Structure 1
Amino acid sequence: MALEPVLSHIDDALPAALDRLKEVLRIQSISTDPAYKANCDAAADWLVADLKSFGVEAEKRPTPGHPMVVGHIDGPGPHLLFYGHYDVQPVDPLELWNSDPFDPQIEDTNQGPVIRGRGASDDKGQLMTFVEACRAYKSVHGSLPCKITFFFEGEEESGSPSLIPFMKENAAELSADLALICDTSMVAPGVPSIASQLRGMLKDEFTIHGPRIDLHSGHYGGPGLNPLKVLGQVIASFHDDTGRVAVEGFYDGVQEVPDEILRQWENCGFDEAAYLNSVGYTRPHGEEGYSTLVQQWARPTLEINGIWGGYQGAGSKTVIPAEAHCKLTCRLVGDMEPEALRRNLRAHVEAQLPVDARVVWNNDLDGSKAAVMNIARPEFEKARGALSEEWNREAVFSGMGGSIPIAGFFKDILGLDAMLIGFAQEDDAIHSPNEKYNVESFHKGMRSWARVLDALSK
């Protein structure tokens, strides 16, 4: 199937594609709030109808929560599963939006035109880049170059409670040769990116107990053990003076970044100063000996997310508190095992406790391994070449500091390797007021997927 006519069709049909994107952006599919359940159903119905409009056999599938959308269309090439999510974050605080978050508008900015509205970048705009590329192929050639299964979720922004059961129950139908995910960003403006690794996550929380009750600091100040002081000492023990985590066994399973990937990262156009200055930093504060990108993408972390205890009201209350609390998370890389790390972390905390202090752990918190993509598969280099051609810039295998659990679920449940390609920008304000998606990202995203499908079909 000739590629150039498909790219020309995408160019000519951009206004109509933007109109369709505006339609789905108007649907208030906020998954976390039960008041918007009907809106989530409406978004699923809209996607089913849109897929059917160019020949996809699509259905809305019920779950205990919001529905899934599953669609199939045949093609001569490999079988690809494409995943996206149609639900969005709440819009609060509404007063910080410059326009109605569910009345999307095209605005001119110093980056060129953008489409602004909730879900524009995360994930409706990204999802529709792939759908529109498929529509263009079907319009020009009457068929697609690959067999495609579309899989759209409606609960990604609210923890995906129905996702794993649905995938297990429908594993045979969702099986394919490769999974594609479009819920990521470009490493720098104009630099196309394929995520090669995602950090995992371990959550934990503990309470340090001291005296039986809050104590008068005059009566017990001095001989009394203060849990807040103990907590401060525990927290200080987590890192050494170089920023390295001091928990025994913490780095088990961590691997160094290969030289070829480091070369791509060093030349990807990442602006370290802008990245740091945008949040008020003047230099990186992580593990010494590693660049900012390597710290963000390929090194594990231990972060304190919240601490509290004692009196926190107005004025002063002279107490030695009975308890002190801490929430923490670890970002995982490589082959780090969450539960082994949890055991090491808890042993470290318990070893720091003095006599008369005890710790109680929250045992209801989970952990997930890092996801490392199999970039040795030839499809990855084919896709990288296709992206490089579209953007006239070498595409890079990037890392991601955050976690996208679906990539791991595809591997664990369906046995599928996943390829993550996205066209969002770091300033898209996803999850925040005034979310936007560059029209260039939408337009060239469609063209990019057309090129990727062409490359993967050969």
Structure 2
Amino acid sequence: MQNKPKIDEMLSTLDRELPQALSRLQEFLRIASISTDPAHAGDVRKAAEWLCDELRSLGFQADVRDTPGHPMVVAHSPKGDRRPLLFYGHYDVQPVDPLELWDRPPFEPAIEDTPAGRVIRGRGASDDKGQLMTFVEAFRAWKAVHGALPSDLVLLFEGEEESGSPSLRPFLRENAEELRAGIAMICDTGLYADGRPAITTQLRGLYGEEIVIRAAEFDLHSGSFGGLAANPIQILVNALASIKDDAGRITLPGFYHGVEDLSDELRADWQALDFDAGGFLSLVGLKHPVGEQGRSALEMVWNRPTFEINGITGGYTGAGFKTVLPAEARAKVSFRLTGTQDPQAIREAFRAHIRAAIPADCTVEFHDHGASPASRMDISDPAFAAAKQALGEEWGREAAYIGAGGSIPIAGDFKEILGMDSMLIGFARDDDRIHSPNEKYDIESFAKGARSWARILAALA
């Protein structure tokens, strides 16, 4: 309880200084740090330097670290006797195309009143500059109240997340001793769908593949060759269709090795969320859930592996009609992975399945589109319960442990390379339009996000 007066002072400071914090965020958002576009390399570095200067002004020892790609920002607070905490975010942003769909210039951020409340609109507002700055504003308030930064903080802010993080894993390996901490904090996530604060405790992995099947040397007239010559599209769809059975289970040998059922604690937490699968699907014009029989909707999107066909091309797809047997067929597919499933083993099983379906006079080639394992955090670590309580106190609702159907590879990288779990806590909302025109971040998310981190810092002290 002795931290309570300090918490109140920090929260009051954050509330009082919110206009200045929003001005700083707008300044940050004006920097067009698009990491995928070489024309914006200078802007990416400018954003890194802006962030580094901001951290130094608070008393961090901060540096812009060069990599073969865009730079990293690394900062440290003074050493002490706390459990070291690593804070991760990214300062690069997505491209803005199509520009004509923006209601205002994407790098001229503004605060707007909307029917749902006030928002700050601009590229990077939610993903991830606004979220990253909730860290920074919490650190600022801590120093203003206590006269010094919290000890034993390590900050790692990346400039290549939106371009696949090619420099991140080598950087982690080369600087492992410097960056290793007790636990990592990752802000690149969001609130639960109904606005409830949440800690993401598990992430599905991802394995992607492109398949190309070739038969005849050129497209054939179906009247002359139909029924006799191999049809690559037919071969492809037959092979892909047989990967799932009628119950929605995946048929590849050994596929479910490493898949784990939910713990009783997580099952109870997820049931309490009262997830409405039909309502969720109605947002995209659907009504009826499909998928693996005997599993709840949240299990299927957070804790069960999947196989999806992402696209198929081949033959004639233009206007009108053309009766041909195509010479070539292509498909792009992906697997979402859970538990300790091995992406490389699944790749081998998938490729063997496809090869077994290829006739003798046809060929197949594969193009790898990445593979990363799932991540699951150890919620028995007392830090999780402390953070969960702190979030509940701030938002007035009990925080939830949730999963994520997508992949955030950095959490797996921290586990594999630095040997530590991550706590994924963010304040984005489903309607923030990240990666799309008119991206926004709710002012409530920004303000209460900074207040949440101040509470979590105090709880973990």
Distance (Å, rounded) in 2 between the aligned partners of 1:429 and 1:294: 25
What residue in structure 2 maps to residue 226 of structure 1?
231
CA offsets 1:128-166 (integer angstroms, 9 cap, x no match): 001100100001111234421111100000011111121
Aligned with residue 49 of structure 2, among 7, 23, 45: 45
Structure 2 residue 439 is matched with structure 1 residue 435: yes
CA distance in 1 between partners of 2:125 and 2:163 (Å): 18
The corresponding residue for 2:113 is: 108
CA deviations over 1:379-409 (Å, ceiling 9, x no partner): 1111111111111111111000111111111
Once the two structures are TM-superposed, the CA of residue 220 in structure 1 deviates from its matched residue by 1.0
Q: Report the Cα distance in structure 1 between the residues aligned to 2:428 and 2:194, rounded to whole angstroms.
A: 9
Whole-Å separation in 1 of the counterparts to 2:233 and 2:155: 52
Partner of 1:213: 218
Aligned 8 A contact 2:232 2:328 in 1: yes
2: CA distance between counterparts of 1:270 and 1:184? 19
Task: Name the SS of the counterpart of 2:294 in structure 1.
Answer: coil
User: For residue 247 of structure 1, what is the amino acid of its counterpart?
Assistant: L
Tell me what 1:456 maps to.
Answer: 460
1:400 is matched with which residue? Answer: 404
Answering whether residue 414 of structure 2 is matched by residue 410 of structure 1, we say yes
Out of 132, 140, 157, the residue aligned to residue 152 of structure 1 is: 157
Aligned to 2:197: 192
Matches within 5 A, 1:36-75: 36-74=40-78, 75=80
Structure 1 residues 280-429: aligned runs within 5 Å: 280-354=285-359, 356-362=361-367, 364-429=368-433
Q: CA deviation at 1:203?
A: 1.1
| Alignment correspondent of 1:204 | 209
1:17 paired residue number: 21
In structure 1, distance between residues paired with 2:444 and 2:205 = 31
CA distance in 2, matches of 1:206, 1:321: 15
Does the 8 Å contact 1:80/1:146 carry over to 2? Answer: no
Shift of 1:291: 2.0
1:242 alignment partner, one of 227, 247, 254: 247
Q: Write the distance in 1 (CA, Å) between the matches of 2:46 and 2:306.
A: 40
Q: Which moved more, 1:346-355 or 1:392-401?
A: 346-355
1:162 aligned onto 2:162: no
With 252-261 and 398-407 compared, the bigger mean Cα shift is at: 252-261
1:173 aligns with 2:178: yes
Superposed displacement of residue 80, structure 1: 0.7
In the alignment, residue 29 of structure 1 is paired with which amino acid?
Answer: S
CA distance in 1, matches of 2:441, 2:127: 9
SS in 1 for 2:417: helix
* 3-state secondary structure, aligned to 1:150: strand
Percent of matched pairs sharing the same residue: 57
| Structure 1 residue 350 displacement after superposition | 2.7
Unaligned runs of 5+ in 1: none
- Kept after mapping to 1: 8 A contact 2:278/2:289: no
SS in 2 for 1:172: helix
Distance 1:301 1:172 in 2: 36
Return the alpha-carbon distance in structure 2 between the equivalents of residues 236 and 367 of structure 1: 22
Which SS does the other structure have where 1:324 is aligned? Answer: strand
Alpha-carbon separation, structure 2, partners of 1:270 and 1:131? 33
Measure, in 1, the Cα distance between the counterparts of 2:308 and 2:340.
19
CA shift, 1:240, in A, is: 1.6
**Structure 2: any 5+ residue segments left out of the alignment?**
none
Distance in 1 between residues matched to 2:373 and 2:135, nearest whole Å: 28
- Kept in 2, the 8 Å contact 1:188–1:269? The answer is no
The amino acid across from 2:130 in the alignment is: G
* Cα distance per residue 1:108-146 (max 9 Å; x no partner): 223211111110110000000011001000011112344
Aligned to 1:97: 102
Instruction: Please say which of residues 310-319 and 341-350 is displaced more in the overlay.
Output: 310-319
Superposition pairs of residues 124-143 of structure 1, within 5 angstroms: 124-143=129-148
CA distance in 2, matches of 1:361, 1:405: 23
Deviation at 1:449, TM superposition (A): 0.5
SS class of match (1:242): coil
Contact 2:342 2:373 in 1 (8 A): yes
Q: SS at 2:33's partner residue?
A: coil
1:35 aligned partner? 39
User: How many equivalent residue pairs?
Assistant: 456
SS of 1:47's partner is helix
Q: Aligned letter for 2:419?
A: G
Amino acid at match of 1:198: L
- Matching of residue 257 in structure 1 with residue 269 in structure 2: no
Q: Which amino acid aligns with 1:107?
A: E
Equivalents in 1 of 2:127, 2:353: separation in Å? Answer: 38
What is the identity, as a one-letter code, of the residue corresponding to 2:288? R
Deviation readout 1:193-215 (Å, 9 max, x if unpaired): 11110000111121222234322
CA deviation map 1:172-200 (0-9, x unaligned): 21121111110001112331111110000
- Cα distance in 2 for partners of 1:279, 1:108 equals 26
1:182 maps to 2:208:
no
Q: Distance in 1 between matches of 2:61 and 2:275?
A: 42
What is the aligned counterpart of 1:119 among 124, 128, 136?
Answer: 124
RMSD: 1.5
Q: Which amino acid aligns with 2:22?
A: L
Amino acid in the other structure paired with 2:9: P
Code of the aligned partner of 1:113: R
Shift of 1:322: 1.8
Give 1:355 deviation, angstroms: 5.1
Describe the shift of the 1:270–1:110 C-alpha distance in structure 2 as closer, same or farther (beyond 3 A). Answer: farther
Cα distance in 2 for partners of 1:114, 1:263 equals 34
Q: Which moved more, 1:147-156 or 1:103-112?
A: 103-112
